Amino acid sequence: MKVADLMTRDVRACTIHDSLNAAARIMWDHDCGCAPVVDGHGKLAGIVTDRDICMAAYTQGLPLEAIAVERVMSPRVISCARGDDLETAHRLMRTHEIHRLPVADSRGRLAGILSLSDVVNYSSGDSAAPSDAVEIAGTISAIRRRRKPAALAASVSPDADAAPARESTKAPKKTGARRRKPSADLR
């Protein structure tokens, strides 16, 4: 089976100049957890997730209308092509621990998106092979692994009798330097 057989073709994207409010509106109106981001030529430039929007609102303390998508999006996008096999999509999702893969054409333009939900919905149908369920279970297992946050790992005391470290409820301090996200986060 090919990615083109399962991908969602009618994908709403935002541009790098749109506000996070516009990206959130796309996600709300189309019941999805991410919006691909395109540049002025329609080429895939990044991806922004609902989590990205929440964390930006929390850490920047600004209204969503005042934050550009470009400041928050993941610029490193893991994508696939329409003609790729489903196994290739599973491998990408597992390796990069992502739930959604934008599908790009040969010129880098957005052609669709393949989500783990699309694959699960297909596998629950009559035409799916039993091996599909095994493949999906492996992908879900790889994606769901929780990573220990560095700050949490550093605050754990080696003394079992010591009081647990408290988590601050304050927003992180703003710094002059703009920090990039560590990886493509399509979750």
Type of residue numbered 2: K
> Which has the higher per-residue pLDDT, 11 or 179?
11
**Does residue 41 form part of some domain?**
yes
**Does residue 171 form part of some domain?**
no
**Does residue 161 form part of some domain?**
no
Distance CA 37, CA 23 (A): 9
Using pLDDT thresholds of 50, 70 and 90, give the confidence band for residue 168. very low
Q: Name the phi and psi angles at 103, rounded to 5.
A: -110, 125
Which pTM value belongs to this model?
0.68
**Does residue 12 form part of some domain?**
yes
Question: Average pLDDT for residues 66-90, to the nearest whole number?
Answer: 93
* Residue 155 exposure: Cα atoms within 13 Å on the Cβ side: 11
**Does residue 166 form part of some domain?**
no
Q: To the nearest whole number, what is the mean pLDDT of the chain?
A: 77
**Does residue 177 form part of some domain?**
no
pLDDT in tens, 23-50: 999 999 999 999 999 998 989 999 999 9
Measured between alpha carbons, how far is residue 24 from residues 33, 48, 51, 148, 182 in Å?
9, 9, 10, 28, 22
Cα–Cα–Cα angle for 122, 128, 130, rounded to 5 degrees: 125
Q: Are 59 and 82 in contact (CB under 8 A)?
A: no
Q: Tell me the CATH number at 22.
A: 3.10.580.10
Domain, as residue range, for 133: 3-147
What is the number of domains present in the chain? Answer: 1
User: pLDDT exceeding 70 applies to what percent of the chain?
Assistant: 66
**Does residue 164 form part of some domain?**
no
**Does residue 159 form part of some domain?**
no
